[in-house]
Structure 1
Amino acid sequence: MNDHKIIFSGPVGVGKTTAIGSISDIEPVITDEKASDMTKTQKPGTTVAMDYGMISLDNRERIHLYGTPGQERFNFMWEILTQGGIGLILLISNNRPDPFSDMHFFLDAFKQFIGSTKVVIGVTQMDLRNKPRLEDYYLQLEDSGLKVPIFEVDARVKRDISLLVEALLYSIDPGLEG
């Protein structure tokens, strides 16, 4: 059996836990605790170690899904969780005050990991705030010299999160069959 590891990351409240739960074939392992800092204004609980889920593929392969904590104070987990990973799914909320700053922060924080793997970006909560548009994200990345697949996603919708996983796998191995 072949096992692979994909990392989900992004700021607090973008939908990492929800995304893993929407696509996992097993009941996800969630390490949420009661929020005790400024996060509690956004949501009652927050991931403090990781989220974990798994997808079983037909050909005896499994993809292990690990969600990082979104708070920078838990960034020691980011390096631990990326070990052995094949790529990063970065979720960015369009409803946060400065989603471009969030995107650049996480791309920089995971720069070394991304340099040896691949990254795909999913923009969540565009139904709550429709600007910036996806084109604006592409322009931001282009200005930074990066070419990264970007998709509008709803973390609650399995098909949307499947699209992110498939896009990441195709960017790693363009010869994969659908």
Structure 2
Amino acid sequence: MKIVFIGAMGVGKTTAIAAVSDIPPVSTEATNNDLEQNAKATTTVAMDYGEIHLGDDEAVALYGIPGQERFSFMWPILAEGAMGAILLLDHSQSDPVAQLAAYLDAFSTLVAKGAVVIGVGHTSLPASQVLPGYAQLLRERELSLPMFISDVRKRQDVLLLVETLIANAEVNQLLGNP
């Protein structure tokens, strides 16, 4: 199984993979030359990689996409063969709902299969104050995707996203959905 972590630069894809990976994660961090977009010192330029071992020689491969638009040519390459995506959003950014829309469009094939789970982070507000704006966009697009408030530094929060994505894939398979 293969899962991709998607989202803008700085949302926590590298951190999320490191939080749950059973192997030392592979990361392609480089100096961030786009400080206007995000003030963090480094950014992913190719991908992140980790694994969750399920036993019986079965593993879930975790790939983190680079979040900068200039690396978007990598997105379909990394998403090829993925069972689904975990979309991470930074609620503290200027227009995170627009980012949600952009990533739903960019990964429309996975969205159409219902193979996306959304984690909204970088907030201390309760879900009732954070999620309605995102939910409104999903309703407008007639989408029903699982969405959670998530702290990607916490293993349990990231595992909830992964387990939800796997459970949805299994249900879709049982229902005969692609």
Q: TM-score, normalised to structure 1's length?
A: 0.90
Tell me what 1:158 maps to.
155
Deviation at 1:135, TM superposition (A): 2.6
Tell me what 2:33 maps to.
36
Flag the 1:13–1:56 CA change in 2: closer, same or farther, 3 A.
same
Deviates more, 1:125-134 or 1:39-48: 125-134
Flag the 1:105–1:165 CA change in 2: closer, same or farther, 3 A.
same
Q: Report the number of matched residues.
A: 173
Given residue 123 of structure 1, which amino acid in structure 2 is its aligned partner? V
Tell me what 2:176 maps to.
none
Write the distance in 2 (CA, Å) between the matches of 1:20 and 1:41: 20
Given residue 111 of structure 2, which amino acid in structure 1 is its aligned partner? I
Structure 1 residue ranges without an equivalent (≥5): none
Deviation at 1:138, TM superposition (A): 1.4
Tell me what 1:105 maps to.
102
Q: Output aligned runs, 1:126-137, within 5 Å.
A: 126-127=123-124, 133-137=130-134
Write the distance in 2 (CA, Å) between the matches of 1:162 and 1:34: 29
Q: Give the one of 108, 112, 115 matched to 2:112.
A: 115
Deviation at 1:58, TM superposition (A): 2.5
Deviates more, 1:93-102 or 1:51-60: 51-60
Tell me what 1:50 maps to.
47
Tell me what 1:25 maps to.
22
Q: Output aligned runs, 1:132-147, within 5 Å.
A: 133-147=130-144
Deviations 1:16-66 (A, max 9, x none): 000000000000001010011235742000000000000000343100000
Tell me what 1:67 maps to.
64
Deviates more, 1:100-109 or 1:54-63: 54-63
Q: State the percentage of identical aligned residues.
A: 44
Tell me what 1:77 maps to.
74
Given residue 140 of structure 2, which amino acid in structure 1 is its aligned partner? D
Given residue 142 of structure 1, which amino acid in structure 2 is its aligned partner? R
Flag the 1:39–1:5 CA change in 2: closer, same or farther, 3 A.
farther
Deviation at 1:175, TM superposition (A): 9.0
Structure 2 residue ranges without an equivalent (≥5): 174-178
Given residue 75 of structure 2, which amino acid in structure 1 is its aligned partner? W
Flag the 1:69–1:41 CA change in 2: closer, same or farther, 3 A.
closer
Secondary structure at the counterpart of residue 33 of structure 2: coil
Write the distance in 1 (CA, Å) between the matches of 2:81 and 2:143: 23
Flag the 1:147–1:128 CA change in 2: closer, same or farther, 3 A.
closer
Deviations 1:65-107 (A, max 9, x none): 0000000100111011011110010000101000000000011
Write the distance in 2 (CA, Å) between the matches of 1:162 and 1:44: 27
